[in-house]
Amino acid sequence: MAAPTKVGLDYFPFDVDLLSDRKLRRCKLKYGYMATMIYIALLSILYEDKGYYIDYSDKYKDDVVWEVLECMQGKYQPTAEIVMEIIEDLVACELFSGDQFKSKTITSVRAQKTYYRSTVDRKTVSIDFSKWLLTEDEMRAISEKSIVLHNFINRANDGVNRANNGVNQINNPQSKVKESKVNKSKEIGAETSKSKKFKPPTVEEVQAYCTERKNNISAEKFVDHYMSNGWMVGKTPMKDWKAAVRKWEKNEISVGNSSSQKGTSGAKNKFADYEQRNYNYDEFERAELRNLSKDIDGV
């Protein structure tokens, strides 16, 4: 099992000019020794934990204040409110970065230089570069051997490469062709899905179509018929109601023709389909009687 990677520092150099820093003077005049002690306590927490910053977010803020209070136990221990007030004043005096403090982070260029210098020989150093304040030149001035510098440069190059890849993809005509084909296929698919979706017509729509075709189909009967069976043509869902109207129209014509043919066949006899004559048998009988009376008179 691999040993855990070292993050913070076991100790840090106490610069001889640390307490004489002009930035600390205003806080010392306002809060006395407490400003100096809290400043040193914050540096100790910073180097011991992350190594180059303190997470001062709402989740860890109380823990930071508690650790500072532990460092200042005694007769004249300040309150938590005073500790937080002094921390804000140390930031205002630029002993810590104001921009990073807005992001709930306590750090400074001086603290990060100390951390960078102390970790030059480490093979693995994890850095959150969103909290990193040192520039490439500042790191090179300290040492060019640090893995932090190497990762910093590679990070910048990766960003450029990603940007270039994005430009190449935009300027690549093949990618544009592929993209247009994909978009076109999506449009065709959308149109196909729309065309496949059947919308039942209203009585008015059917009536208008029947009027256009000059047929005698009842629009109400047509709509009622298919509404009753769920707009099914046999066992198949209807796809085109106009085609169904035209089919009804053809069926109506064929039925009319068959009816007329039946009427005509009723006037024919069974002998070679000759038309059957309609005789007036009463008139025929009267004519025969007249002819018979003439014959008797002649005799």
Q: Classify 230 in phi/psi space as left (phi over 0), alpha (psi -120 to 50) or beta.
A: left
Is there a contact between 2 and 17 (Cβ–Cβ < 8 Å)?
Answer: no
| Residue 154 structure tokens | 């590679």
**pLDDT of res. 172:** 59
**pLDDT of res. 242:** 92
**pLDDT of res. 139:** 96
String of b and e for 140-159 (b: at least 16 CB within 10 Å)? eebeeebbbbebbeeeeeee
Is there a contact between 66 and 79 (Cβ–Cβ < 8 Å)?
Answer: no
pLDDT in tens, 113-128: 999 999 999 999 999 9
Alpha helices in the chain (DSSP H): 22-31, 33-48, 61-71, 80-92, 98-102, 109-118, 136-142, 147-171, 173-196, 203-213, 219-228, 241-265, 281-298
pLDDT truncated to tens, each residue of the chain (299 aa)? 556 678 899 988 888 888 888 899 999 999 998 999 999 999 999 999 999 999 999 999 999 999 999 998 888 889 999 999 999 999 999 999 999 999 999 999 999 999 999 999 999 999 999 999 999 999 999 999 999 999 999 987 776 555 565 555 555 555 555 666 656 666 655 555 555 678 899 999 999 999 999 888 999 998 998 988 888 888 889 889 899 989 888 887 666 665 555 554 444 454 444 444 454 445 545 555 555 555 545 54
Output the pTM of the full model: 0.53
String of b and e for 110-130 (b: at least 16 CB within 10 Å)? bbbbbbbebbbeeeebebeee
pLDDT in tens, 201-225: 999 999 999 999 988 899 999 899 8
Is there a contact between 9 and 63 (Cβ–Cβ < 8 Å)?
Answer: no
